Amino acid sequence: MNSIDLSLYLVTDNSDDVEKFLKTIEDGIKGGVSVVQLREKTANTLDFYNLALRVKEITSKYNVHLIINDRIDIALAIDADGVHVGQSDMPCDVARKLIGKDKILGISASTIPEAQKAQKDGADYIGTGAVFPTTTKDDAPSVTKQELKEIVDSIDIPVVAIGGITIENASELIDTGISGLSVVSAIMSAKNPKKASQELLNIFNS
């Protein structure tokens, strides 16, 4: 089990304006982001690789974990801290074999059986959602607060909640036993990403 501070887990969105994108990530980290997951669904391999290198410069500077979404080749190429895969991506046990035992492996799971299988197959943590309606990921299954609690209770590895989490609703999740809040728009689209991160972290730690 790789230890990782999941308390404020930032998942990136598209990076049309790369300099602004990188500054948003850095500002989020300054506000308390503890993990950055780089997600690029449309970039070609070279662009993703080059962007990942630049993001890694930032995460390394602040000693924050960098997780690559889905693309194990990119994660290995830049020596990221780990990868995160969904239920329709590389199987968890295969991903674990490819990245080795020392890298962090996160799995998306929205049911107890999915979460238990991920733990058995070598995941270090679970991402569960969508806990609130979200526009970031249209195909994300919805998970009620009660279901979230039950998933947390069914496994021994940490769970982060994801999906539509904002400064306004984050407090609703605090008593579920989760190990962190995972957000996209709440930081990536914030006018002040540093302040947004500080507020989210304060809510989670309250």
Where in the sequence numbering do the catalytic residues fall? 39, 108, 137
Which residues on neighbouring strands pair with residue 36, listed in sequence order? 10, 66
End-to-end alpha carbon distance in the chain: 27
Q: Going by C-beta distance under 8 Å and a sequence separation of 6 or more, which residues neighbour residue 180? A: 5, 6, 7, 8, 9, 34, 35, 158, 160, 161, 204
The C-alpha atoms of residue 203 and residue 170 are separated, in whole angstroms, by 7
The C-alpha atoms of residue 120 and residue 140 are separated, in whole angstroms, by 23
